[in-house]
Amino acid sequence: MTKIGRPEILRAAPLLAALALLAAGCGTQRAGQDAGDGSPSRAAVATPSKPVDFPCPGERAAPTPTPSAASSAPATPPTDHYAENHGFRVPLQLHGRSRCDGLAAARRIERALEPLRERGDFSPQSTRAALTRLGYADGDVQSSQNGPAGVSFLVVAHPLCLEGGIDREKTRADAFGGYPDGTDCEPPSGGH
């Protein structure tokens, strides 16, 4: 059996004092005391402002308002927590000037890839070449086969991420601001 001596107790004293202080609490409000009764109060907590979206040059319709967290939440919490557990996979939306830059870049990419779609060239190499001709660095462009007649792509163009694809039906490009977990433009693979 180990005997605890005076030196060990002295080394542990500051830690024990800190724990006691945390357990006792350090606020000034007492039980039964109202927050607005003249006692010291906390500073107001800054609430994040809602991002401002405005019509961008060349945009066909006005931007759709982003639903707020309060209005988009269901009245009762989901029982499976799927949305909560997979929220890290939802790309960050662009707002303001970044949104306009993203829409312009997506239109530019669609115009560059449309001739490939029209001639039925669905090779990742052709898609990659068309995107690098737009000025994107070779290392920032990924393209991959998406079925027998389709190609998907991802372009890292800080602070924008551009993704999309071409197939027999259409050419599509979308812009976003990365992912909340900080994996940049790559979709995250892990979860919580």
HEC secondary structure over 55-86: CCCCCCCCCCCCCCHHHHCCCCCCCCCHHHHC
71 pLDDT more than 50: no
Domain-embedded: residue 59: no
Within its chain, how far is the Cα of 47 from the centroid? 19
* Paired strand residues for 166: 151, 171
- Which position has the higher pLDDT, 121 or 192? 121
Domain-embedded: residue 46: no
Domain-embedded: residue 138: yes
C-alpha dihedral (110, 114, 120, 121), degrees to nearest 10: -60
Domain-embedded: residue 106: yes
* Paired strand residues for 173: 164
> Distance (Å, rounded) from C-alpha 30 to C-alpha 92?
42
pLDDT of amino acid 150? 95
| Domains identified in the chain, total number | 1
pLDDT tens digits for range 76-125: 555 667 666 666 778 889 999 999 999 999 999 999 999 999 999 999 99
Q: What is the mean pLDDT of residues 118-143?
A: 96
Q: Which domain holds residue 116?
A: 88-176
Question: What percent of the chain shows pLDDT beyond 90?
Answer: 41
pLDDT of amino acid 68? 38
pTM above 0.85, yes or no: no
Domain-embedded: residue 148: yes
Q: Which of 5-9, 35-39, 55-59, 152-156 has the highest mean pLDDT?
A: 152-156
Domain-embedded: residue 96: yes
Q: Which residues contact 157 (CB under 8 A, 6 or more apart)?
A: 105, 136, 140
The rounded radius of gyration (Å) of the Cα atoms in the chain is: 27
Domain-embedded: residue 125: yes
> Distance (Å, rounded) from C-alpha 141 to C-alpha 103?
18
> Distance (Å, rounded) from C-alpha 171 to C-alpha 182?
28
Q: Confidence band (pLDDT; 50, 70, 90) for 182?
A: confident
Q: Confidence band (pLDDT; 50, 70, 90) for 49?
A: low
Q: Strands (DSSP E) along the chain, which ranges?
A: 141-145, 150-157, 160-167, 171-176
